[in-house]
Structure 1
Amino acid sequence: MRMRRYSHSGEEEPGIDLTPMLDVVFIMLIFFIVTSSFIKESGVEVNRPQADTASSQDKGNILIAVTADGQVWLDKQAVDVRTVRAHVERLRQEQPDGIVVVQADQDARTGLVVQVMDQARLAGVPDVALAASTESN
């Protein structure tokens, strides 16, 4: 008697291999995360005065906002003007090469803006800038 041999071939069902596509997606995700720039905000919107000579700052900045009603905002929270120095010292440890930018509302008291700038200088920041917008903004 003859025996029949049934050989089961090792063929698999044809399918799409998704591994290269997933690799490309993860590489693109990493690329966009690394190249994206995150905009820091002080936590409150101010109406900045206009200046024809205003220029943009490219470095990482520590933003301090002074509102028209006398509030000082730093790192998205309202702070007392006497604590600005301590906050700036803490933020300078994270960004040693950053400069301080004071975003003062055009109706803010000049004395308060000067106090904020003075506190930043006492924290060891040599460059304190005052934010302004150009005519086109």
Structure 2
Amino acid sequence: MKRRMKSLSVFDDKPEVDMTPMLDVVFIMLIFFIVAASFSTEKTIAINQPPKAPEEAIQEQKSNLLIHIDSTNHIKIDNRSIDARAVRAMVAQHLAANPDSQIIVRAHEMAATKSYIVIADQVRQVTQGRLMLTTYSN
């Protein structure tokens, strides 16, 4: 009888969940996400930006063509507003008169990258790489 009473007392304990396997799984998942996050890369466009040039230095070089993009993405050439589609014609016209000049795109820091890319594509079709980007802020 004593033996039977002992065996019943073992089953009277409350069941417990062993947390060790769950903690192992959590740590393995944590390591996985840390490693996976280090492999994610962002797709960017590499632009070699020259240092910020003061406006006076840009204005001194009269033979260069200055294309200005303001913070609202409006494009100006020689203080005249111009459509992005007309940039190519203006650059070609300028290079016909000044074949050794460079094209300088002066973009505001808050201007959209898309505006610069549209202008850069049109300028590269005419100049084969004589393009310089400067930025400014107010």
Give the letter aligned to residue 80 of structure 1: D
Q: Distance in 2 between matches of 1:54 and 1:113?
A: 16
Q: CA deviation at 1:119?
A: 0.8
- Show the counterpart of 2:111: 108
Give the letter aligned to residue 94 of structure 1: A
Q: Which has the higher helix share?
A: 2
- Show the counterpart of 1:69: 72
Structure 1 vs Structure 2 CA RMSD: 2.4
Q: CA deviation at 1:131?
A: 1.3
TM-score (norm 2): 0.53
- Name the CA shift for 1:123/1:52 in 2 (closer, same or farther; >3 Å): closer
Q: CA deviation at 1:125?
A: 4.4
After TM superposition, the structure 1 = structure 2 runs for residues 58-97 of structure 1, keeping only pairs within 5 Å, are 60-97=63-100
Runs of 4+ in 1 over 3 A off after TM superposition: 51-59
Residue 124 in structure 1 maps to residue 127 in structure 2: yes
Instruction: State the structure with more CA Rg.
Output: 2
Unaligned stretches of 5+ in structure 2? 1-48
TM-score (norm 1): 0.53
Unaligned stretches of 5+ in structure 1? 1-50
| DSSP 3-state at the match of 2:127 | coil
Q: How many residues align?
A: 83
Identity %: 24
Contact in 2 for aligned 1:81/1:116 (Cα 8 Å): yes
